[in-house]
Every structure is written in structure tokens, then in C-alpha cells.
Amino acid sequence: MTSANAALRAAVHDALAADSGLHALLGGKRVYDEPPRGALLPYVSIGEARVTDSSVDEGPTQEHQITLHARSRQGGQSEAHAIAGAVLQALDDAPLTLTAHRLVNFRFAVADIRRESDGRTYHAQVRFRAVTEPTT
């Protein structure tokens, strides 16, 4: 992946780790790049990324798609929906600061919430689209 993608992932993590409303829903600062083995539910993790070149005449730009995952076992789908909503509120069009890159925009794309095969866990996937350009 690119340094812009790494900077974007770090900025997303920092924004979620600083969001007190999300912490209240999660029962603490349970935001992970990679959830630890045996992580307590609920939690949010930063998942898949896709980066494409979207350069134009004005200079190099990249389009990013980033997926956040929330997993929950309480209250049926309602907790998963609430966590997905908090992630959306914290990040949609957020003025994230990226190292060595400028964030042109960061927007919500789609969310999916479903029950996992264990019949107890709900999994919310919240996807965002971002555009970055280098600052140098």
C-alpha cells in the first residue's frame, strides 16, 4: 500500500480513538487496527483498503476505499446499528490530518449490518471513500 493509505488509516484510528461518544457505546477505547486475540465485544477495527490512482492534470491524487468493522453481541442489531452510526458521525467529512498528504475529502459510501454464522454476533461494515494528494 501507499504512504497515503498508511497516513489515512492512522488518522482514522486517531479520530475514532478520540471520540468519547463511540467509547461510551463500546465500553472503552476498543478501536483496533487488528483486534487482539480474545478482544471483548463490542469493538471497532480498521479493515480492508483499496487504493486507486485518480490523478488528473493538476497533479497526483489517490482514491481510497476503507472499511471499518464493528462487532457486537448485545441487544440484537440495535447495538451494531448504534456503533455504525457513531462511526459515521465521527468520520463523515471529518477534517482528518494526514502526514505528508492532504485529505481532499472523506465521505461515507455504504454500510452493511448482518448476523454472523454463530447466530449471536452482529457485524457492521462501514465503508468510506477518500481522496488524497501529496503535500510535497
Residue in the block written with cell 490530518? 97
CB 108 within 8 A of CB 125: no
pTM score above 0.75: yes
Q: How confident is the model at residue 91 (pLDDT cuts 50, 70, 90)?
A: very high
What is the spatial distance between Cα 91 and Cα 125, in angstroms, rounded to a whole number?
A: 14
**For residue 22, what pLDDT band results from cuts at 50, 70 and 90?**
very high
What mean pLDDT is reported for the chain?
Answer: 93
* pLDDT at position 24 over 60: yes
Going through 1-136 in order, the beta strands assigned E by DSSP cover: 31-32, 43-53, 62-72, 101-115, 122-134
Asked whether the predicted pLDDT for residue 92 surpasses 90, the reply is: yes
As beta bridge partners, residue 70 has: 44, 124
Q: Where residue 18 falls among pLDDT bands split at 50, 70, 90?
A: very high
